[in-house]
Amino acid sequence: MNIQIQNVSVEYQRPILENIDLEIEAGEFVSIVGQTGCGKSTLLRLILGEQIPSRGRVLVGGKERTQPDPTCGYVPQKYSLFPDRTVLGNVTFGLNGRGARETALKMIQRTGLKESDAAKYPHQLSGGMQQRVAIAQALVMNPPVLLMDEAFSALDPGTRAGMQRLIKELWEESGTTIVFVTHNTREAAYLGTRVIALANRSIALDVSAPAEEELEHVFL
Ligand SMILES: Nc1ncnc2c1ncn2[C@@H]1O[C@H](COP(=O)(O)OP(=O)(O)O)[C@@H](O)[C@H]1O
Ligand SMILES: [Mg+2]
């Protein structure tokens, strides 16, 4: 599904985003970089439909966003698991029907957790492991649009590289449109088919469409 951000502004006490125009085609993997406080999370929440712009419109698949729904999967900046559900319970939440358990177990393993972790509760896991569960929870729904907010920032470098490969693989398999916010410009260039820099004066600059040759030089 495509994403259209049309002349969008967001103000709290001061303007955060001003007249942002951005078109994301179906199946793109767009990385968004920018300094802390420039409005990256706000932009994701607008696409999610959790927040409504002060001015302008945000459309996903041609439909204006009014509230979160299953078209957009979301991995927030801070993990947000159900504390009273096991890992498996968290990942199967929202999955229906036969095969839900097997699908969830497969995804748990793909994110590098063990099958024996499935019965554990979030408080029994490290922060990095909890974040993998949150990622598995979003991925298992196979949403047409996936929004990730610094989702790998809490992971140690080895795990992070593994998750980067996984998300790329899943994106290639599924054709999901991904918007990936990160602080790490290397990560942005490695993952994205396009990198958008959100400048402090809230202008979305299309800084690059990284070429294959360039990507090979990205050190992880
Ligand atoms: N609910 C809110 N009320 C008031 N100010 C907010 C709110 N949410 C975010 N902000 C402010 O908006 C700015 C952009 O926030 P955010 O989108 O979280 O930036 P980023 O993710 O790029 O660090 C920050 O200055 C932040 O303090
Ligand atoms: Mg943020």
Closest CA to 131 of 86, 77, 83: 77
**129 in any annotated domain:** yes
Residues with CB under 6 A from ligand 1: 12, 16, 34, 36-42
Separation of 181 CA from ligand 2 center, angstroms?
A: 8
- Closest ligand 1 atom to Cα of 35: 22
Ligand 1 atom with the shortest distance to the CA of 44: 17
State the residue range of the domain holding 197.
1-71+143-220
**170 to each of 6, 29, 164, 213, how far by Cα in Å?**
29, 11, 10, 22
Residue 130 is assigned to a structural domain of this protein: yes
Asked if the structure places residue 77 within a domain, the reply is no
Whether residue 209 sits in one domain with residue 166: yes
The string of pLDDT tens digits covering residues 18-71 is: 999 999 999 999 999 988 888 999 999 999 999 999 999 999 999 999 999 999
Atom nearest to 36 CA in ligand 1: 23
The band of 205, judged by pLDDT with boundaries at 50, 70 and 90, is low
Query: Does the pLDDT of residue 79 top 90, yes or no?
Result: no
The pTM score is 0.89
- pLDDT tens-digit profile of 136-180? 999 999 999 999 999 998 888 888 998 999 999 999 999 999 999
pLDDT exceeds 50 at position 85: yes
CA 98–ligand 1 middle distance (angstroms): 41
Residue 134 Cα to ligand 1 middle (Å): 22
Q: Are residues 102 and 204 in the same domain?
A: no
Determine contact, residues 19/7, Cβ cutoff 8 Å.
yes
As a whole number of angstroms, the distance between CA 50 and CA 65 comes to 8
